[in-house]
């Protein structure tokens, strides 16, 4: 698992190979190096195929590489992947040590089952307790663009079950600004920039065993569906202005505490969000798409025309999408009401989904028409009834 344009090392363990052909699954040219590196330019999951000795042996690993996406802000549950119902590849999990990855996405069972929204969560084993062992694994987020100045808040729903206060398991939240090359713990216990943050630290009662986390910070508690928040702007000011900020939840487990110590359902995450100013995904090009055809408008003076509609969407946006019609027209998001001189659509994670825009000519619009449009009691061309020499107006 990696991020867009992060170099990934591939290694051949083939026996008696004299030639190699690596297909990375993304349409890029094959590599004939024995141990190549490769950067993926797009997010997704990719098959990797290694062919040796001119086709004498071929090995394909399906969906072997998971490239996490670049996302903008705000990243909210209403329209992005933080509910874990849509965009399932926005988050991913991997082992860090010990060859064990406990993180799973889906419907929870066992002790921790309280879901904040729809049905899916990320949990350390959806339907079983943690297992004894010496391992660590991580749930990783997309890469967020936080270049615009402003206040950024990270928040999520936390559920956890433990047996003992200091071991054999704990969880930390960490951040990176270099595509995951290095990671730093986010926050401390009783953090003034946070709510419901770590309950353990080196100076608290029953601190986490140093074999689990050397700095002894983290969560070891039992509770369900608790809202946790962290003000990134005041807590880690250096993150503001960064284009690629990533986060990960790290579960660390150590052996040797007795069978009863592992009768715990672990850790569960739901509704992960990054609130803040509007940023498009890092490196994305702003694109605005409209669809629909408007025909000429006509109406009698003093009367608004019949409404028409078109749709608009946008990606890679770094500010609100403003809809401003020409003079004499007005727009609305609601059919038949709410018309105004302009509209402002706020992106979510740099995108505005397909939105219907209603448009009509205002009651005060003035058109330039042939003389026969001036009539006594009927506007025959526009087929509307006029009163007392009212002028029929038209715009194209």
pLDDT at 235 over 80: yes
pLDDT at 390 over 50: no
Q: Are 119 and 230 in contact (CB under 8 A)?
A: no
pLDDT at 395 over 90: no
Let me know the angle formed at the C-alpha of 98 by 95 and 103, rounded to the nearest 5 degrees: 35
SS3 388: coil
> What was the pLDDT predicted at 347?
85
* Residue 157 confidence class, pLDDT cut points 50, 70, 90: very high
Q: What percent of the chain has pLDDT over 90?
A: 81
Q: Are 49 and 36 in contact (CB under 8 A)?
A: no
pLDDT in tens, 324-335: 999 999 999 999
Dist. CA 218–CA 197, nearest whole Å: 8
pLDDT in tens, 353-388: 899 999 999 988 765 443 333 333 333 343 443 333
Q: Are 295 and 308 in contact (CB under 8 A)?
A: yes
Structure token digits, residue 290: 């409209």
Which distant-in-sequence residues (6+ apart) come within 8 Å of 323 by Cβ? 312, 331, 342, 343, 344, 345, 357
pLDDT in tens, 254-296: 999 999 999 999 999 999 999 999 999 988 777 899 999 999 9
Dist. CA 373–CA 393, nearest whole Å: 8
* Residue 394 confidence class, pLDDT cut points 50, 70, 90: low
DSSP H helices, the chain, are 232-235
> What was the pLDDT predicted at 396?
53
pLDDT at 202 over 50: yes
Give the residue, 359 or 298, on which the prediction is more confident: 359
pLDDT at 343 over 80: yes
Domains of the chain as residue ranges with CATH: 2-66 (2.60.40.10), 70-279 (2.60.120.260), 287-395 (no CATH)
pLDDT in tens, 170-187: 999 999 999 999 999 999
**Of 179, 181, 201, 182, which is closest to residue 190 (Cα–Cα)?**
201
**Of 361, 365, 345, which is closest to residue 353 (Cα–Cα)?**
345
Give the residue, 109 or 321, on which the prediction is more confident: 109
pLDDT at 116 over 70: yes
Across 58-87, average pLDDT: 92
> What was the pLDDT predicted at 366?
64
> What was the pLDDT predicted at 330?
94
Structure token digits, residue 339: 């018309």
Q: Which of 43-57, 201-215, 301-315 has the lowest mean pLDDT?
A: 301-315
Across 10-38, average pLDDT: 96
> What was the pLDDT predicted at 29?
95
pLDDT at 210 over 90: yes
What integer best gives the mean pLDDT of the chain? Answer: 90
Across 100-117, average pLDDT: 97
Q: What percent of the chain has pLDDT over 70?
A: 92
Furthest C-alpha separation in the chain: 98
Dist. CA 223–CA 201, nearest whole Å: 18
Terminal Cα distance for the chain, rounded: 53
């Amino acid at each position: 698992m990696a991020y867009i344009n992060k170099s990934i090392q591939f290694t051949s363990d083939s026996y008696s190979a004299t030639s190699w052909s690596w297909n990375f699954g993304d349409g890029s040219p094959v590599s004939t190096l024995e141990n190549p590196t490769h950067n993926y330019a797009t997010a997704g999951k990719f098959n990797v195929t290694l062919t040796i000795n001119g086709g004498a042996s071929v090995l394909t690993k399906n969906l072997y590489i998971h490239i996490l996406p670049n996302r903008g802000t705000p990243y909210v549950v209403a329209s992005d992947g933080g509910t874990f119902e849509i965009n399932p590849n926005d988050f991913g999990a991997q082992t860090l040590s010990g060859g064990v990855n406990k993180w799973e996405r889906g419907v929870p069972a066992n002790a921790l089952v309280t879901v904040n929204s729809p049905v899916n969560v990320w949990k350390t084993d959806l339907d079983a307790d943690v297992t004894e062992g010496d391992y660590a694994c991580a749930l990783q987020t997309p890469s967020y663009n936080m270049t615009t100045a402003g206040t950024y808040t990270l928040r999520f729903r936390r559920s956890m079950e433990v047996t003992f206060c200091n071991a054999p398991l704990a969880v930390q939240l960490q951040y990176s600004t270099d595509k995951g090359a290095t990671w730093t713990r986010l926050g401390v216990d009783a953090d003034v920039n946070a709510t419901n943050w770590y309950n353990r630290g080196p100076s608290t009662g029953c601190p986490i065993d140093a074999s689990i986390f050397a700095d002894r910070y983290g969560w070891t508690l039992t509770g369900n569906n608790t809202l946790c928040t962290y003000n990134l702007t005041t807590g880690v000011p250096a993150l503001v202005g960064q284009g690629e900020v990533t986060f990960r939840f790290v579960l660390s487990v150590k052996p040797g505490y007795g069978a009863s110590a592992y009768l715990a359902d672990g850790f569960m995450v739901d509704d992960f969000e990054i609130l803040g100013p509007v940023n498009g995904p890092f490196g994305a090009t702003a694109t605005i798409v409209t669809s629909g055809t408007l025909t000429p408008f006509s109406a009698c003076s003093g009367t608004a025309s019949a409404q028409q509609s078109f749709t608009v969407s946008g990606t890679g946006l770094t500010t609100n999408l403003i809809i401003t019609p020409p003079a004499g027209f007005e727009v609305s998001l609601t059919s038949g009401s709410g018309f105004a001189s302009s509209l402002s659509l706020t992106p979510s994670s740099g995108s505005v989904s397909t939105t219907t825009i209603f448009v009509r000519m205002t009651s005060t619009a003035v058109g330039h028409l042939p003389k026969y449009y001036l009539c006594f009691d009927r506007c025959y061309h526009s087929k509307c009834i006029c009163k007392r020499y009212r002028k029929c107006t038209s715009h194209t």
